[in-house]
Amino acid sequence: MRAFTGHLPGSPAYRRLIAGLFFAGVATFAQLYSPQAVLPFIGEEFDVEPATAALAVSVSTLGLAVSVIPWSVVADRIGRVPAMAIGVIAATVLGLLAPLAPTLSLLLTARLLEGAALGAVPAIALAYLSEEVDAAHTATAAGSYIAGTTIGGLLGRLVAGPFGDLGLWRGGVFAVAAVCAASAALFLWLTPPSRGFIPSRASTSAGPSLVARIATNLRDRRQLSLYAQGFLLMGGFVAVYNYLGFHLVAPPYALPLWVVSFLFLAYLAGTVTSPWAGALAGRFGRLRVLIASLAVMAAGVVVTAIPDVIAVLVGLLVLTAGFFAAHAIASGWAPAAATAQTRAQAASLYYLGYYGGSSLFGWLLGYAFHDLGWVGVAGCVFVMVVAATVIAVLGLRSPSPRRA
């Protein structure tokens, strides 16, 4: 019997896999970021500064960041799909309970636990893809998965945002959780069981210990460079979306929040560029496409600083397109560049950096906004993108047999 080498595009299993992970992305990222669209109202209800209100997003991404390594261990022991299923189900239950919290501290606690449960999908999905999809098509498949996450992020914000102007931000967050419950059910129904996962190889009793597998990745200069991409780029990206609402609802724009919510349609740019970047990487190499994506993101940041609503929208579209293209390349590259025994940990460490950056900078740049306004946020994000570019150029060029 011929060894399994991965599903090919066009096969029924490949289509089910991509569709299943698409709905997992919706179930994860819609509820992860749904409070972002109503942060001004959360701040108003609890009488706190923007940076404090933004903790409703940052604590959930913190919970996700610290849970990705434990989830990778669970996935190595019980399998990729069962571990993702447990996480999605637990997160859906917590997501339905979180908006019922009567105090900010209880809301933040529920969001922290919800984020920890949500960590299952980003910690495991790309490792699952790299094992189940033919090696020649993993970059394209990863891009398709990332495109699904953009739909989830967009949906969460668009559903929750309009409720804020009605004084029902809690109802908006709850409605998003209900949509996520339906998406979780579709994920469980569609996703095919693993064929490329071999428990004996992933088991800590039959191979390197968890510490050894993590250390192997942390000694790899290319892996560290990829983790830095996630840390810096996601940190800047979340800060932009956290504080743009505060910027546009204040004078001189004074836009209603339901209008501001539609700016999240810029996420559709990422839906297009994620699979496109994956396809281009197969033709021109991952590093070239990554550098080009970073240049696009930097240009978008600069345009958002122009004091004009149309310019802000155009800049946001460009920034979002560049970010998701870069994320599609870096997130798929980390597990692809790892060994079979360290692949799950490589993906998890990437997302540890990714959501660690989201948590830290999504909160910290609130103080730049408070002191310097939107120009302060845009300036900080631009510097972070430039730093990511330097790290990519210096750290990802290597005489590796794998194509860069």
Residue 305 lies in a domain: yes
**pLDDT confidence of residue 199:** 63
Amino acid type, 367: Y
Q: Tell me the C-alpha distance between 134 and 10, whole Å.
A: 12
Distances (CA, A) of 53 to 105, 117, 161, 266: 11, 22, 15, 23
Residue 289 lies in a domain: yes
Residue 83, C-beta contacts closer than 8 angstroms, at least 6 positions apart: 71, 74, 75, 120, 124
Return the H-helix or E-strand segment holding 15: helix 12-33
Q: Which two tokens stand for residue 14?
A: 């490949």
Residue 250 lies in a domain: yes
Structural domain of 64: 12-395
| pTM (predicted TM-score) | 0.77
**DSSP designation for 306:** S
The domain tally of the chain equals: 1
**pLDDT confidence of residue 203:** 45
Q: Tell me the C-alpha distance between 209 and 220, whole Å.
A: 17
Residue 265 lies in a domain: yes
**pLDDT confidence of residue 386:** 98
Residue 297 lies in a domain: yes
**pLDDT confidence of residue 402:** 44
Q: Tell me the C-alpha distance between 147 and 285, whole Å.
A: 20
Q: Tell me the C-alpha distance between 272 and 18, whole Å.
A: 16
**pLDDT confidence of residue 375:** 96
Residue 128 lies in a domain: yes
Domain containing 365 — which CATH number?
1.20.1250.20
Residue 401 lies in a domain: no
Environment class of 2 (CB within 10 Å of its CB; exposed 0-12, middle 13-18, buried 19+): exposed
Buried b (16+ CB within 10 A) or exposed e, 294-320: bebbbebbbbbbeeeeeebbbbbbbbb
Residue 279 lies in a domain: yes
CB–CB of 84/67 below 8 Å? no
Task: Name the CA radius of gyration of the chain, rounded.
Answer: 20
CB–CB of 163/35 below 8 Å? no
> Which stretches of 117-213 are assigned E, i.e. beta strand?
none
Of 307, 317, 223, residue with least CA distance to 264: 317
Q: Which two tokens stand for residue 143?
A: 């891009």
* Chunked mean pLDDT (size 10), the chain, 404 residues: 73 89 87 88 90 93 90 87 93 92 95 94 82 80 75 84 78 90 92 76 57 90 95 96 89 83 82 85 90 98 94 94 94 85 83 90 94 96 98 80 43
Q: Tell me the C-alpha distance between 72 and 80, whole Å.
A: 9
